Structure 1
Amino acid sequence: MPEERLGFRRHQSVLPGRLGHWLLVLIGLEAGVAVSISVPHLFGDEPWMVFDDSSWVLYLLALALIPVVLWAAWALVRQQQRERGEAFRMARLIDTMSTASREWLWATGPDGRFIFCSPACRDLTGYDSAELVGLHFSLVIAGDDLAAAVRDRVASESEDGSWSGLESVCRRKNGTTVVVEVSGSPLRDSAGNAVGFEGSARAVAPHVVAATKVRGRVEAMIADHALLTAFQPIRSLDSGSVIGAEALSRFLSSPGNSPEAWFAEAESVGLGLELEIAALETALSAARGVPPFVYVAFNVSPGLCLDPRLVQLLSGAGVPARRIVLEVTERHPVLDYGPLAAALSGLRRDGIGIAVDDAGAGFASMRHILQLKPDVIKLDRNIIAGIDSDLGQRALGAAMVGFATQIGAVLVAEGIETFQELEAAADLGMSAGQGFLLGRPTVRPEDWTSWREKPALKGRPWRANEAADG
């Protein structure tokens, strides 16, 4: 196991080991001298050499040094034993970590070939450790993408060349792929030169992968401004003429991805406001092509109403404030109406109108009306659908007409799709209507221009025409 290349350095007693070797040599020499001198004296013989008085001083010093040298040797051996024990415990810990860890620990040489792989690589890649050692990392990791991403990440985030949280694709032995998160850092020699890389990899949970893909799609949509604005006409139920138009976002994506789905996905990854702003910028730009006598309604969430960027967008839109109506949606519940009402009051002072969408759909919409005191109330399609034949819906519609009159608001019937619904809404005194019968959403500027002329619907004239003809 190449622990040094993994960055786990055992404590090697190189210098103390050499010192201990020479100390043992000195011990042997000292012991030999002492024995050769003292043993003959024990038997009354002369030592192997003739000593004068001064040489006995050296003899005594040599004998005195023996316990000192022995103590030093004992202390050295103890130190080496402790270091070997520490190194052994460290080695066992490393072995345990590499064996038990669910993350794949790896190391590569300067040529990109694996020099170490922990057993977890089998669960992640399908290969055994022995199979990968000696092979290039591009066998299992998308090499080009990873190399480019590492360069970008290192250049922007790290001074020592390390990186973390980098997503790449791992190609398994059976041909399948899995998204992995890779972290690593350079391996360096004693001179500080990079001699490879070491790090870890782990599989990314499916829900995290899904969130990453959603974020990527939404960010690309915002960056590319890959959306359009369709306008649906709002007509006076007295004259039939177009008095307003609602801006509706249309995304340039594959079929099945509705605008509601796009906004919900963006919100799920924390990009809801960013997508709203991009959609509003597109809508404000397109609104310059709408006839000047028509007001334009833009959908905004309570969160966007509180965002200071909204005022900047509206002031630089090139559309007069008197022609702008903001429809406050119910994409999120409003917990505190104080800040929202204050923000809308400032917009009102600039001449911008406020509308509440989907009125009557539930308690939240009615609370919106009571708290925000809108200039325009848009009745939900559920109230309008079948209003010509349902007495309860007619009663509710009549009550909303009276309520709107009391607070001085314009009442717009949404989702009118039949002549019977149109007639019932007009008979109840509703001010305006919107729906497929009165005009479908369109992205064609030439269709917007045609709103200058009052249309005549086949099969049922407008009530204003009836009065004029009568």
Structure 2
Amino acid sequence: MPGGSARTGRRAGTRERGPPMTHRGSLLGLALVDAGVLTLVALPVLAGLLVRDSVGTASWVVIAAWAALALTAGLALVRREHRARGDLAARDAALAATRLTGHDWVWECDERLVVTDSGHAVSQLLGFGPEQCVGRHLDELLYDDTNRTHVRTQLEAAVSPGAPSAPRGLELAWRHADGQPVRLRGSAAPLHDRRGRVVGYRGACWRASEPTEAALVTEAAARRVTSLLGGSVRVDVALQPIVEVGSGRLIGAEALSRFSDGRPPTAWFDDARVGGLTRQLDEMTFLNALSAFDDLPGPAFLSVNASPELLLDAGFRNRVLRSGRPLDRLVVEVTEHSQVVDYDDLEAALTTLRRRGVRFAVDDTGAGYSSLNHVLRLRPDVIKLDRDLIADLGHDGARRALVTALVLLALEVGASVTGEGVETPDQLEALGALGVHHAQGYLLATPSTDTAAWEAWSRRTWRQGTHAPAAGR
């Protein structure tokens, strides 16, 4: 079997390469033909003997019937032998015609459709090792009942009398090891024993379309995210406090996702982008973040990221509105994973949430033209400064000038300003001097999943130049 295989002890799929009839049956057919022909040839001689011996008409009928029966039976056996040989050759040719490469999965099963042999390519296509396939019923490897029924119908047709060839080009959904469907094309042919009985099937499967390397990356990313969405990985909520610069009091917290498999959030969101599942992952993490309201002390607000694409989804907005959470304490940070095509539609979508008390923030303001356009078009309640603006704020006059301009813009549109990425006392002091209202960053606290830390933040007063404990990091 190409590429190696794993087998059971009894090779149920073994078959003869020769005809599915026995050699004895073939000889019997030829013998009957010979007997019939000899009888017909000998009829004149027999006729003379029968006339001489005054044999009756009934004997003539018996002799003629024997000749006809022997000739007919013999020819039938020979024709059957020839047809069976042709059918088997056609089926073998159909299977052999499938191009076998290192990426094709070749398998065999017995008459009950239990896998008896599997090539190693199954690990690339379905994520199973060959030894994991052997002993499994094909029904376990196929994705659903529709595909199982289709396979049975095709295999039954392949062994029916007069079937011209093996089923070819079947496209079926198989079950990957992670439970997700994988579409494969394939071919199969029956295996016969020495008596011509079907004892199993042999097939080959390959991807429905030969994927490029990029397509394989996309498929793998989508499979990982789909598994995550199905609950294979626990998603926890980590909060990072947002503090009022002047008083040092907790006024809110930003919700961040932490994944139990240890992969960084950026890796998961990159997978979602590559696999085309950004909106689905955004919604799952957003709704999951709302659970932090259960332990976040009031009246602190909860700030959660959402892409414009997600906010434009009416179903998502309805789920937020029906969540039963205190929406007057919810701040939605508008990120930009994709370009906003129509601001009028986005403004209308935000209005439905604003009517219920939801506030909005524009994230990473100052990082580029798009974030400034968000501020001008969406009129947010909060402007969050990009961390690059904060990095050298105390010594860079251009950065100070831009932050000052954004503070003035916030006053004009009725918004507050939050500085993100605060890591040093000098940065916190500079923000206060420029009129920035709120601060967030590692100087104050690292993101924490510890609900006891969340409670402690509400009793703490941050002072410029002090660092909060990194509880629950």
- Relative to the length of structure 2, the TM-score reads 0.66
Q: Aligned Cα RMSD in Å? A: 5.4
CA distance in 2, matches of 1:251, 1:77: 70
Q: Partner residue of 2:131?
A: 141
Q: Structure 1: state its 5+ residue gaps.
A: 38-45, 63-71, 126-137, 170-180, 461-470
| Structure 2 residue aligned with 1:239 | 247
Compare CA radii of gyration and give the structure with the larger one.
1
More deviation, 230-239/75-84: 75-84
| Residue identity opposite 2:352 in structure 1 | G
- Tell me the alpha carbon deviations over residues 405-424 of structure 1, each in whole angstroms, 9 at most, x when there is no partner: 22222222222222332233
Q: Does 2:419 correspond to 1:423? A: no
1:376 paired with 2:366, answer no
Structure-2 residue corresponding to 1:159 = 149
Paired residue type of 1:141: E
1:147 partner amino acid: R
TM-superposed deviation, 1:375: 1.8
- Picking from 241, 248, 261, the partner of 1:253 is 261
Extract unaligned runs of 5+ from structure 2: 1-10, 65-71, 153-171, 179-183, 467-473
2:371 partner SS: helix
Counterpart-to-counterpart distance in 2, 1:269 and 1:340: 24
Amino acid at match of 1:159: T
Equivalent position of 1:466 in the other structure: none
CA spacing shift, 1:459–1:298, aligned 2, 3 Å: closer
Within 5 A, what are the aligned runs for 1:47-58?
A: 49=51
Instruction: Determine the structure 2 residue equivalent to 1:385.
Output: 391
Write the distance in 2 (CA, Å) between the matches of 1:297 and 1:115. Answer: 56
Question: Paired residue for 1:199?
Answer: 203
Report if aligned partners of 2:444, 2:462 keep a CA contact under 8 Å in 1: no
SS at match of 2:231: helix
* 2:93 alignment counterpart: 93
Aligned equivalents of 1:228, 1:19: Cα separation in 2: 77
One-letter amino acid of the counterpart of residue 97, structure 1: A
Normalised TM-score (structure 1): 0.66
Instruction: Give the residue type in structure 2 aligned to 1:223.
Output: G
Distance, in Å, in 1 between the alignment partners of 2:353 and 2:17 is: 63
CA distance in 1, matches of 2:320, 2:99: 60
Equivalent position of 1:107 in the other structure? 108
How far apart are residue 381 of structure 1 and its match? Answer: 0.7
| In the alignment, structure 1 residue 295 sits paired with structure 2 residue 301 | yes
Q: Separation in 1 of the partners of 2:33 and 2:291? A: 88
Check whether the contact 1:10–1:90 (CA below 8 A) recurs between aligned residues: no
Which of these residues, 341, 356, 372, is aligned with residue 362 of structure 2? 356
Count of residues paired in the alignment: 411
Tell me how far apart the structure 2 counterparts of residues 391 and 16 of structure 1 sit (CA, whole Å).
100
Give 1:116-127 correspondences, 5 Å limit: none
C-alpha distance after superposition, 1:206-242 (max 9, x if no partner): 8748954873476257515612222222223333322
CA shift, 1:298, in A, is 0.7
> Shift of the alpha carbon at 1:326?
0.5
Matches within 5 A, 1:62-101: 90=90, 93-94=93-94, 96-97=96-97
Q: Relative to structure 1, is the Cα distance of residues 344 and 225 closer, same or farther in structure 2, using a 3 angstrom cutoff?
A: farther
The one-letter amino acid of 1:240's match is G
Partner of 1:443: 449
SS of 2:108 mapped into structure 1: strand
Report what 1:228 is aligned to. Answer: 236
Equivalent position to 1:395, from 394, 401, 421: 401
